[in-house]
Amino acid sequence: MQESMGKMSQVLVVEDARTARTGEGHVLVTAQNFVQANGVRSVVALGGRYLNGTAIALILFTREQLTEGQVSKFTTVVNTLKTATMKVVMDCKIV
């Protein structure tokens, strides 16, 4: 599931990291040793861009299986982080 809020943020969820496959049948989360060793069920990627084009990405691993509906609410996380770090990014203090 990919949901876009304009150009502000995007969310991607892999509901079951153990079994999710691409359309061609390839495993979606290739680090299956990490998934198995840590009991990962879902993977959530949150991302977006600052006004200057700098990209931000957060990847979350959870032992709980999350649904698209639950994850759609996570866009506020990346937007809050972007708001909190906007000044230092725009001043090129972190890139």
The sheet carrying 9-14 orders its strands as 2-5, 9-14, 42-49, 55-62
Taking the complete model, does pTM exceed 0.85, yes or no? no
Contact (Cβ atoms closer than 8 angstroms) between residue 43 and residue 16: no
pLDDT tens digit at each of 95 positions of the chain? 333 334 567 889 999 999 999 999 999 999 999 999 999 999 999 998 888 888 899 999 999 999 988 988 888 888 888 889 999 998 888 76
Domain ranges, ordered by start, for the chain: 2-90
> What pLDDT was estimated at residue 3?
39
> What pLDDT was estimated at residue 1?
33
